[in-house]
Chain A
Amino acid sequence: MAYSEKVIDHYQNPRNVGSFGASNEVKERKDVGVGIVGAPECGDVMQLQIKVGDDGVIEDAKFKCFGCGSAIASSSLATEWIKGKSVDEALKIKNTRIVEELSLPPVKIHCSVLAEDSIRTAIEDYKRKNGKLDEADTGHAHAH
């Protein structure tokens, strides 16, 4: 399969790789939200961590990904896009925009879904830790 130049660039120079500490540490931190999602289609796994300021703005984001090149690129891109956004703005990022930006072919659409899901799951985790989660936040819809 031929990859787009943007996918190759994110693969070779992934942005914001890492985490804000060991998994049991970040579990305790109220300013950090963690999203770990797996793609049932292919078994790939993506982890996104967000660090949120008191004003509800995502100050920093880190990712790790066990997945194909498109999944790595999608999660790397997602960290770039959510930094500086409020959590509610970040929730509006749809996988279709990732597909467009990275020129992903149809079989790779679920890789972008994984990135969207990881953003949502990380934000939910942050909100849950801070008692801000209401039911409306947990519903979601993808464009597959």
Chain B
Amino acid sequence: MNFPIYMDNASTTRTDPRVVEAMLPYFTEIYGNSASRNHAFGWAAEAGIDRAREQAASLIGAGPKEIVWTSGSTESNNLAIKGAAQMYAKAPMGEKSRGHIITCIIEHKAVLDPCKRLEREGFDVTYLEPGSDGIVTADLIRAAMRDDTILVTIMWANNEIGTINDIRSIGAVCREHGAVFHTDATQWVGKMPTDVERDNVDLMSWSSHKIYGPGGVGALYVRRRRPRVRLQAQIDGGGHERGMRSGTLNVSGIVGFGAACEICENEMESEGERLLALRLKLENGLKGLMDVVEVNGHSERRLPHLTNISFGFVEGESLMMGIKDIACSSGSACTSASLEPSYVLKGLGLGDELAHSSLRLSLGRWSTEEEVDFAINSIHQAVEHLRVLSPLFDLHNEGIDITKIVWQSH
């Protein structure tokens, strides 16, 4: 085993060496600008881009012309959300009541912040609260629909807790109401089977660095038929990507992204099964060794490789200190610049103590059973060490409900 062990694959992934291999010629041999139509360097680069477009489209059941290259999911989300809102606005800039948008409070900031900006620009936004299991249902969407709803944006799988929404049903509701449907599928695509036709998706974001491709590359799927979805460009310039996203393409990065998509498509099934077995081993191992260990979010409708676990009475940052051989993330406030605990966990209605006590462990292509065993053992030791120190654990052992205590503050 090599230390530290990487269990933060929901954050980013190691680039697959096969992807790097595919990219290499595009730095020093095929280095043309894919928009150069007048010479062989440009044509060769364009052929690489075309191939990648097919690989990306194939992974999601789309046509190659429906793929718009971006710099990653943040940009794809911005283009989809702002671009659709501005295109389908009910009133011009400067006026109020420009249209209604539906999203959810546990979306990624790259969805929430564009929505907030649109609110300032005269759009109405409904921020739905998921159930305590983290799931946004089609019924919730249906109940929030208004005559002026122009856009719904709901993530496919949540990046902190790994819960999966029923995108096909949500898409069907949007279609019924004539609202454009965008999904941030950053944590989903490449890991789970995706078919934008069957799943009723109009716009979909995903990112290369989450699926073993290089960083700084992403894609937005933009539906071209039944119905055709149009977007207001957010980056203007040379008119690349059919005017939706100007800028010379990152050829080597896109070629790598394409290769990563193809590998995911071929290996998804066996990889998913393997990772699910490892994740269950991890969760069951930890739950078997200690009391008050809760897996956050719906127990079955979740990604195979990601788990978010609260260890009662133990604070997340100090827990991370105790498992320094494992690279993972915490829902605890103290690990980030802000001291607020994770808004996603609080969005599920979790109390501050449990939100503070969580670890997100995300497995990946190179995770091994040996690493999972090591993680179980090391987390167990750290939790035990910290529970000895924890005043909350004492109160719990004395039978006092800590959620009912009002702390004296200063």
- Which A positions have Cβ atoms within 8 angstroms of B? 1, 3, 8, 11, 14, 17, 19, 22-24, 36-47, 64-69, 71-72, 107, 117, 121
Contact = CB atoms under 8 A, between A and B. Distances in A.
Interface string B382-410: 00000011111011001010000001111
B321 interface: yes
A43 B353 contact: yes
Contacts of A22: 394, 398
A38 B409 contact: yes
Contact of A66 (B313, B321, B322, B409): B313
Given A11-B321, A38-B407, A42-B339, A68 B398 contact: no
A23 B394 contact: yes
Interface size class of B (residues with CB under 8 A): 20 to 34
Interface of B: 313-315, 317-318, 321-322, 332-335, 337, 339, 341, 352-353, 356, 388-392, 394-395, 398, 400, 407-410
Nearest to B313: A66
Contact of B318 (A11, A64, A121): A11
A69 B318 contact: yes
Quick one: which of A8, A17, A65, A71 has the most chain B CB within 10 A? A65
11 contacts: A19-B394, A23-B394, A40-B409, A40-B410, A42-B339, A42-B356, A45-B391, A46-B391, A65-B391, A66-B391, A69-B321
Nearest to B314: A66
B407 A37 contact: yes
B333 A3 contact: no
Given A36-B407, A37-B410, A42-B333, A64 B391 contact: yes
A39 B388 CA distance: 20
A66 B389 CA distance: 7
B410 A117 contact: yes
Contact of B317 (A46, A68, A117): A68
A66 B398 CA distance: 16
B98 to A, nearest CB: 38
B389 A43 contact: no
Given A23-B394, A41-B339, A14 B333 contact: no
A84 to B, nearest CB: 23
A43 B390 CA distance: 13
B321 A3 contact: yes
A76 B315 CA distance: 16
Contacts of A66: 313-315, 353, 389-392
Contact of B391 (A24, A40, A47, A68): A47
Contacts of B322: 11
Quick one: which of A3, A24, A67, A68 has the most chain B CB within 10 A? A68
B389 A64 contact: yes
Contacts of B352: 43
Contacts of A121: 408
Nearest to B333: A42
A61 to B, nearest CB: 14
A43 B341 contact: yes
A40 B407 CA distance: 9
Contacts of B334: 42, 44, 67-68
Quick one: which of B315, B334, B352, B353 has the most chain A CB within 10 A? B334
Quick one: which of B318, B341, B356, B408 has the most chain A CB within 10 A? B318
Contact of A64 (B333, B394, B409): B394
A3 to B, nearest CB: 7
Contacts of A47: 391
Contact of B315 (A1, A8, A19, A67): A67
Given A37-B408, A43-B352, A43-B356, A67 B318 contact: yes
Quick one: which of B314, B317, B356, B409 has the most chain A CB within 10 A? B317
Contact of B392 (A19, A37, A41, A45): A45
A69 B122 CA distance: 45
A64 B390 contact: yes
A56 B335 CA distance: 40
